Chain A
Amino acid sequence: MKSPVEFASACPVSLKEYPTVTMAHGGGGKLMHDLLEKIFFAAFDANSTPNRHDSAILELPVNRIAFTTDSYVVRPIFFPGGDIGSLAVHGTVNDLAMSGARPAWLSAAFILHEGLPMETLWRVVCSMREAARRCGVRIVTGDTKVVDATTGEGLYINTSGIGVVEHSLQIGAASVQSGDAVLVNGDVGRHGMAVMSVREGLSFQGSIQSDSGPLFNAVEALLSNQVEVHCLRDLTRGGLASALNEIAEAAGHGIAIEEEAIPVRGDVHAACEMLGLDPLQVACEGRFVAFVPERDAARALEILRSQEAEANAKVIGRVDRREPPWVVMKNSLGSLRALDTPVGELLPRIC
């Protein structure tokens, strides 16, 4: 990661002249034109056509495409293992991957608070450029607005994405069947705790890095090895508990998981114990659950493990016919409990 000094000296907008974003940068005039040319186009244009039209024209090689959108408002903007920019690319790219679509094009819309340091903007945009390159996607269109605000640290990003569907499966909750194995591609809770570790008032020292990263390679590996993928869901806000509950409800099937099978790193476990949080409810950004037929489970696990060995992919449970179709979990004591969707913002507790 480049140091802030390197970023500052590389920032194409003169920081002496414009150390922060101003309302005029969003005004549609020369300053805005400069901002677009020097920051956004300079970063995202590397392998794009230099057209500056209102929309990007795309050549689609197939009949089925996946289309998704998401907005990113994480605080703080920079955290161990990533920032709002890389998150905005990975998050949308991963939503496409969850349909089994190869991510191809992204749009990026920015809402900036007046007073946002220009260097912060440049760092975030460069991070997006790097993430897009790693994911093999191009950022082809976008928008910028500057708003009045009481604090100058505001930066919000929306990314929409188009992906190309090259398989003929119907990957989604409707395809989930009783008896399916449930796999997770790695240990959970890293992202949320990485962000927590630098949050004012709650910070702690350690080496927990966000797991934010692209998932399509893992998905492609499953598909190209003829694993009959029934459903995929990336774990974001609300963590594993949230994702499993969404699928159980949409599929109308119960899911039974074993707590001892769920991988959680020692330091994430310790951070959660310290703040009184449940790792199964903590956000991830580079993790997904896959529902595959039992006969494909062992092969799918091997494939996921070969993608990222240190992440510790595991089979965590099975889909069943229980009524009502809840998500239930067997804990270390052998007790069976419902694992419900978390409610509201996760707040660290005193007791």
Chain B
Amino acid sequence: MTAWEPVIGIETHVELQTESKMFCGCPVDFGDEPNTAVCPVCLALPGALPVVNEEAIEGILSIGDSLNCTLTETSLFYRKNYFYPDLPKNFQISQYTFPLCVDGHIEVDVDGEAVRIGITRVHMEEDTGKSLHQGDTGRIHGADTTLLDFNRAGVPLVEIVSEPDIRSADEARAYGAELQRVVRTLGVSDAKLEEGSMRFDANVSIRPAGSETLGTRTEVKNVNSLRSLHRAIDFEIERQIEVLDGGGVVDQETRHWNEGSGVTTAMRSKEESEDYRYFQEPDLLPLFIDEEWRRRVHSRRPELPADKRARFSDLGADTQTAALLVDSPELATLYEGAIAGGADPRTIGIWLTGEVVAYLRRHETTIEATGIGAADLIELAAMTSENSLSATAAKEVLGGVLAGEGNPEAVAQARDLLLISDTGEIESAVDAVLGENDDAVQKIRGGDMKPVGFLVGQVMQATGGRADPKIVQELVRAKATDSQ
């Protein structure tokens, strides 16, 4: 059996949430009644002309900069020609040679390992309208009628093309998730996969491990979540392996991912694929991005997810905690506050990734709604390190704080969870237990230490778990051997 290596490249489309559309003044708003956010330009009425939206250019440049791309000084728009009812001009204004951003890369974390994925290009284009096909198939072929909504037509769309550097479905998902984080951090798009404001197409091929040449690729479309990106790529890799192992050949074609059945099916082959007859858009001048503009974009670059991860791990967070904090600014604020207040990073990390996340999920609520603050965590951490609270009790107190029962001290008091600091009280409890278990005491005295654990357990039970087990153990050992 040949060992196969998958080679994957991903094309990502991101809708920018700008004030107005890419080439006209219509608002970018998805809640509107169909065909209300339209004008002569985005409906392609005769005589209408496009004008570039600078806000969208700022947006794409910030994406390109964040992906370590070179920002092109003189960039060109092209017409990509194809007929489709939801494409009003029957050509899409896009980019071809000289896209706005080229030659970048991004580092993604795959199970704690950093993987670098090249970015070929990031270019600007416009979105299409939406077709609603009425009929059994839900697709244009076989539809009885099709309704068209042009509110989305002309919304700024950024296409991010990766190098074929991705080697597994896991890497693909990590790449997609990281892009989503970057775009959200920049604030240029909500990047919602389920709503289509971020969309993936995956180019998948396989080759014998160690080979330098590329196999025939297929393009997988209709992937609407990170999970389906992972599933679709896994399926496609397996499918291609099966084909090649069976002596067949992979056809270069576009394949449609079917979420329900979990398979990809052929849409159109390369022979049927269209010739887009690209040529430079004569209605738009070349875009000039001067040195100053490029510098300005770079100087406005916010702290990116990767930078955050690095910063949190410098603060002592483990990989899992750092990843969580990058995805949740609220938790990140809590974490940073607690660490600044001297709390132990490991303890805080365990609480946030454990109790806190579980609580938020269970109650479908937010940090803000619970009212918990960094001060609570600092106080709680201090109580544990001062041995006034056990680790288990601390988690319970945390639950109480999240539930709005008060600060840690108050919760611990109310729930009677504070450890017994009075050794006299513990001593008398030990004495009582030893007195009731003479057999065990005799064994210990004879050199058999096994019953110590049992006796400690009895004392803990008697004190309602509020005694420090270490002290209990010491006392049990000492008293069992000493008491003649």
Does chain A bind chain B? Answer: no
